[in-house]
Amino acid sequence: MPGIFGNGLSELASAMNYRLFRQGVISSNVANIDTPGYKAKEATFDEELTSRLQMSTTTPEHIPSSNAPGEVSFRIAEDPYSRIGNDSNTVDLDREMMKLSQNQLLYEASAQAVQGKINALKEAIRGIR
């Protein structure tokens, strides 16, 4: 059941949870930069994206989708774009720092969107008085 903001707030919460999860994966890569044989990891969301893009029924005449989006789940896979170093370690510090920065910006954007929705609710409550 959608809340006061429809599905928007729960979608933003899912996006923020993904960003937190990805932060941990990137931090793990950076922590293992000197570990021989370590393979860089990446957080994947392919299944989640596919489930979110499923058609939804808006009238009873529509055929229901077999894959209703449920609880958000993320996976960790080997980073397909990593390069093998001399010690078989695939962590590239510059690339990990770039991913970390990008992830932080997207997390902050989601947090600002949540704050905007909360501020809109506050304004609506003030308008009722």
**What are the boundaries of each domain within the chain?**
8-128
pLDDT band for position 67 (cuts 50, 70, 90): very low
pLDDT band for position 69 (cuts 50, 70, 90): very low
Phi-psi region of 96 (alpha: psi -120 to 50; beta: other; left: phi over 0): alpha
pTM of the model: 0.73
Contact between 37 and 88 under an 8 Å Cβ cutoff? The reply is yes
Q: Which of 22, 6, 129 is nearest to 72 (CA)?
A: 22
pLDDT the model gives residue 1? 47
| Identity of the residue numbered 102 | Q
